[in-house]
Amino acid sequence: MDVLVTLASPGEADITPALTLRDIGSFFVGGQTVETADAAVEQHVLARNGVPVRIDPNGTTWLGQMYVQYAIPAVSARLPVLFWHGGSLTGVTWETTPDGRQGWFNQFLRLGWPCYNVDAVERGRSGWAPRDPHFAAPAMLRTWQDSFTQFRIGRPVRDGSLASLAAAAYPNCRFPLDAFGAFMRQVVPRWSTTDDLAVDAYCRLLEQVGPAIIVAHSQGGAFAFRAAERCPGQVAAIVAIEPAQGGTTDGAALAGIPVLAVYGDHLNLDARWPTIRARTEHYFAAARAAGACIEVLDLPLQGIHGNSHMLMMERNNADIALLIHDWLQKRLPVRPDQEDPTHA
């Protein structure tokens, strides 16, 4: 099956103009300290023939911290864009696509937005807490077959060969199928018991770098609505890419926050997505009744067909990024230092 794996590397990347950045870097937000006592001290050999080490699990550890990586254009008066990935995934979602093209992190950066990319609590570089009850259930890892349908790329497949994937893909498929195996390397274990920790950390991030624009995918979309309900003053706009859920209130807190929900194609061919979207639209209706301005960008209704749930990495990802960039330009108030210099 290794024939499917397309390695993306800088040498294969698109030829693009140089990036001039003020800085790149990372930091952590949120989390709480937990004290462990009365656990048995362990003795480990951490490598073949290594010097034995005594590891005492008693003491202080973190729970619920979140990793944030950023890149800031050298010259930018724009608000920060925060990228919040979806379930089973990490911030890699927004980076180089599995077939080696520019992802949305770079595309928004090149459009002049300061960009912040996180790994949600429990995922990636944010780490997790093996002894904590939040992580008592076994972690789940999605298979290639499960992901192919759950991410709505196509009908069920028996194996990951390119022939099988191509035969099962939905019409006008935009996903780079020859890099589906490479994409699956991004998929990491997850739990279903850490949502509250995640929302806490997202609110801490908003407090630190907001007001900011949230570009959120799937599970991240649900977190975006919940975080905006808690700290609306720190949210300048929400772009929810196929959000998995709405928030947990009547959405009145969204009044004054421009919201764009973006949907790909073939929702009606999936077992769960019609229900998921209907529930989210129900939340939107309540929020609109309470004064919120929520717009829906249904890509097939715009003549853009064949996008899956993973539209930020599909062949037309740059086109969709530009649609979102244009919407942000229209909906965000223009600050004096952002006015078009050609009219100054």
What residues numbered 18-77 form the site for its own copies, per CB under 8 A?
18-29, 31, 33, 36, 42, 44-51, 53, 55-62, 65, 67, 69-72, 74
Q: In the complex with its own copies, which residue's Cβ is closer, 135 or 327?
A: 135
Q: What is the helix (H) or strand (E) element at residue 298, kind and residue range?
A: strand 294-298
The distance of closest approach from Cβ of residue 143 to its own copies in the complex, given in angstroms and rounded to an integer, is 3
The distance of closest approach from Cβ of residue 142 to its own copies in the complex, given in angstroms and rounded to an integer, is 7
Cα separation, 287 vs 2, whole angstroms: 48
The distance of closest approach from Cβ of residue 291 to its own copies in the complex, given in angstroms and rounded to an integer, is 24
Stretch that binds its own copies, among 136-144, 166-174, 250-258, 316-324 (CB under 8 A): 136-144
Distances (CA, A) of 53 to 36, 45, 60: 19, 6, 19
Asked whether position 268 contacts its own copies by CB under 8 A, the answer is no
Q: Please identify which residue in the block is written with the tokens 């010097």.
A: 51
Q: Lay out the site mask for its own copies across 91-130 (x = CB under 8 A, - = otherwise).
A: xx--xx---x-xx--x-------x----x----xx-xxxx
The distance of closest approach from Cβ of residue 50 to its own copies in the complex, given in angstroms and rounded to an integer, is 6
Two tokens, residue 120: 């949600």
> Burial letters for 274-302: b for 16+ Cβ neighbours within 10 Å, e otherwise?
eebbeebeebbebbeeeebebeebebeee
CA-nearest of 77, 64, 34, 70 to 203 is: 64
Asked whether position 208 contacts its own copies by CB under 8 A, the answer is yes
The distance of closest approach from Cβ of residue 197 to its own copies in the complex, given in angstroms and rounded to an integer, is 13
CB 260 within 8 A of CB 240: yes
Return the residues of window 2-21 that contact its own copies according to CB under 8 A.
2, 7-10, 13, 16, 18-21
Position 156, amino acid: P
Position 113, amino acid: W
CB 152 within 8 A of CB 314: no
Two tokens, residue 66: 């979140």
Cα separation, 125 vs 133, whole angstroms: 20
Total residues in contact with its own copies, by rule CB under 8 A: 101
Asked whether position 327 contacts its own copies by CB under 8 A, the answer is no
Asked whether position 289 contacts its own copies by CB under 8 A, the answer is no
Q: In the complex with its own copies, which residue's Cβ is closer, 36 or 316?
A: 36
Two tokens, residue 62: 């973190």
Asked whether position 133 contacts its own copies by CB under 8 A, the answer is no
Pick from 209, 253, 260, 328: which binds its own copies (CB under 8 A)?
209
Asked whether position 282 contacts its own copies by CB under 8 A, the answer is no
Asked whether position 185 contacts its own copies by CB under 8 A, the answer is yes
